[in-house]
């Protein structure tokens, strides 16, 4: 198993630690009198500590290793209520950043950058969050030691999945070092039997002032992408600025509109007896399509077009007045041309 060590993974690990999600779903209780707290008590206090903070900043050293490889990263992090964050990740002499101002999630790296608007009324389903990396239920927490770590008195709590835990967590075990004085997470070690991950958290500050600009995407380097989904062609046609064609020989399934600084694109999905058909309408795509490899010239409704056939799928596209229209079918170029003839 190769160690990923990616910047995104490092960022997610810090989110797990700092937000206190290691405690999510663990049964809670209140320590009575001078008795030793349970592991559940300790983690409940951790969760409360971070939930109560308006802001949290700090630094973490992340090490990921297995039998053949070790990778390291340093992460500076900042969180602000209700849903702003920023990570600056240094790894292998390269620096990248990940953040959100609450409405746009963005990332900037050495070779690429992006930003995506967060849907207001739906879950961000296709992106894993911190709670996807740790179990949020069916976890046993055990206080296994009280000791010192870097001169601080700490509780050491072990997390193990129960027999009812999701299969993807069945081999995951974690150990968390928590400051006795104020329930800060100081260190966490996690293993799935093949890979070990260690996070050492330092320089944590709570409720300090953080300027709003800290969480804003760098507009000079990032193009903001927005998406809209439609369940009917009528809704699509009424909402988009593009002149989108309808394919009457297919059954409309759904459509997605993507808007970026360099252009828009609408992807329609149709079902037919011969397989699914996609119809794509886009602006700003002509330059990128001009050098398509393996393209062949075809004629659609008496006009020139380009066709590409790969892996059992065929695409036919053409550009008029900076608007590119494409048809993608499960079949031959002739099949794609046949559909294109219906919409051009």
Rounded CA-CA distance 80/103 in Å is: 13
Total domains in the chain come to: 2
In this structure, the answer to whether residues 185 and 300 fall within a common structural domain is no
Whole-number average pLDDT of the chain? 80
**pLDDT the model gives residue 201:** 92
Q: Are 131 and 249 in contact (CB under 8 A)?
A: no
Other Cβ atoms closer than 10 A to 55: 16
The tokens of 339 are what? 């559909």
Predicted confidence band at 322 (pLDDT cuts at 50, 70, 90)?
confident
Q: Per the domain annotation, does 160 fall within a domain?
A: yes
State the burial class of residue 268 (Cβ atoms within 10 Å of its Cβ: 0-12, 13-18, 19+): buried
Q: Specify the residue for token string 């709570």.
A: 206
Judgement on whether residues 123 and 152 belong to the same structural domain of the protein: yes
pLDDT attached to residue 126: 39
- Domain for residue 264, yes or no? yes
Q: Does the pLDDT value for residue 220 go beyond 60?
A: yes
- Are residues 285 and 164 part of one domain? no
Domain assignment present for residue 221? The answer is no
What pLDDT band is residue 330 in, cutting at 50, 70 and 90? very high
pLDDT category at 7 given cuts 50, 70, 90 is very low
Domain end: 215, 245, 271, which one? 215
Confirm whether 67 is domain-assigned: yes
Give the end of a domain, one of 163, 196, 215: 215
Tell me which residue of 185, 192, 182, 161 sits closest to 15, measured CA to CA. Answer: 185
| Residues ≥6 apart with Cβ < 8 Å to 184 | 46, 49, 178, 201, 204
Last residue of a domain, one of 189, 215, 241: 215
Q: Are residues 179 and 242 in the same domain?
A: no
Whether 119 is in a domain gets the answer yes
Q: For residues 75 and 28, give the distance between their C-alpha atoms in angstroms, rounded to a whole number.
A: 30
Task: List, for residues 292-318, the tens digit of each pLDDT value.
Answer: 667 889 999 899 999 999 888 999 999
Can you tell me the distance from the alpha carbon of 30 to that of 28, in angstroms, rounded to the nearest whole number?
A: 7
What's the mean pLDDT in 183-196? 91
The CA radius of gyration of the chain, in Å to the nearest whole number, is 26
Model confidence pLDDT, tens digit, residues 97-141: 888 888 888 888 765 666 666 655 444 443 333 333 334 457 788
Residue 92 placed within a domain = yes
Output the pLDDT for position 171. 84
Q: Is residue 2 part of a domain?
A: no
Distances (CA, A) of 233 to 26, 46, 243, 271: 46, 50, 12, 13
- Match 């990332």 to its residue by tokens: 107
State whether 137 and 52 are in the same domain: yes
The answer to whether residues 174 and 264 belong to one domain is no
Do residues 237 and 177 both lie within one domain?
A: no
Same domain assignment for residues 190 and 296: no
Where in the sequence is the domain holding 262, given as residue range(s)?
226-343
| Nearest Cα residue to 76 out of 9, 5, 8, 11 | 11
Q: Provide the token pair at 13.
A: 């690990």
Q: Are residues 208 and 330 in the same domain?
A: no
Q: Per-residue pLDDT tens for 232-274?
A: 999 999 999 899 999 999 999 999 998 876 788 999 999 999 8
**CB 225 within 8 Å of CB 258:** yes
Q: Which residues contact 130 (CB under 8 A, 6 or more apart)?
A: 12, 15, 16, 19, 21
Looking at the chain, how many residues does it have? 344
The CATH number that applies at residue 315 is 3.40.1000
Answer yes or no: do 75 and 132 share one domain: yes
| Residue 1, in any domain of the structure | no
Do residues 79 and 121 share a domain?
yes
CATH number for the domain that contains residue 156 = 2.50.20.10
Q: Which of 8-17, 44-53, 92-101, 285-294 has the lowest mean pLDDT?
A: 8-17
For residues 186 and 270, membership in a common domain is answered with no
Measured in whole angstroms, the distance separating CA 117 from the mean position of its chain's CA atoms is: 12
Q: What is the helix (H) or strand (E) element at residue 198, kind and residue range?
A: strand 196-206
């Amino acid at each position: 198993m190769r160690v990923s060590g990616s910047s995104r993974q490092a960022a997610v690990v810090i989110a797990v630690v700092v937000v206190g999600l290691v405690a999510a779903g663990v049964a809670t209780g209140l320590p009575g009198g001078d008795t030793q707290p349970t592991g559940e008590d300790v983690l409940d206090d951790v969760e409360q500590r971070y939930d109560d903070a308006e802001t949290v900043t700090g630094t973490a050293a992340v090490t990921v290793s297995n039998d053949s490889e070790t990778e390291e990263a340093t992460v500076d992090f900042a969180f602000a209520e209700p849903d702003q964050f920023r990570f600056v990740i240094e790894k292998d002499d390269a620096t990248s950043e990940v953040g959100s101002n609450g409405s746009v999630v963005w990332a900037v790296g050495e070779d690429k950058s992006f930003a995506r608007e967060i849907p207001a009324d739906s879950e961000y389903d296709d992106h894993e969050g911190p709670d996807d990396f740790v179990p949020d239920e069916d976890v046993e927490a055990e206080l296994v030691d009280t000791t010192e770590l870097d001169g601080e008195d700490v509780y050491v709590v072990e997390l193990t999945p129960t027999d009812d835990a999701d299969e993807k967590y069945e081999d995951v075990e974690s150990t968390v070092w928590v400051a006795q004085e104020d329930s800060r997470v100081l260190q966490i070690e996690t293993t799935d039997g093949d890979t070990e991950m260690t996070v050492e958290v330092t320089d944590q500050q709570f409720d300090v002032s953080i300027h709003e600009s800290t969480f804003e995407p760098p507009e000079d380097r990032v193009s903001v992408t927005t998406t809209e989904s439609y369940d009917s062609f009528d809704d699509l046609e009424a909402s988009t600025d593009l002149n989108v064609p309808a394919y009457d020989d297919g059954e409309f399934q759904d459509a997605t509109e993507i808007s970026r600084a360099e252009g828009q694109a609408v992807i329609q999905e149709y079902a037919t007896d011969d397989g699914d058909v996609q119809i794509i309408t886009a602006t700003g795509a002509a330059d990128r399509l001009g050098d398509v490899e393996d393209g062949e010239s075809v004629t659609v409704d008496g006009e020139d077009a380009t066709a590409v056939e790969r892996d059992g799928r065929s695409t036919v596209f053409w550009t008029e007045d900076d608007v590119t229209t494409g048809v993608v079918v499960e079949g031959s170029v002739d099949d794609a041309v046949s559909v294109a003839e219906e919409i051009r």
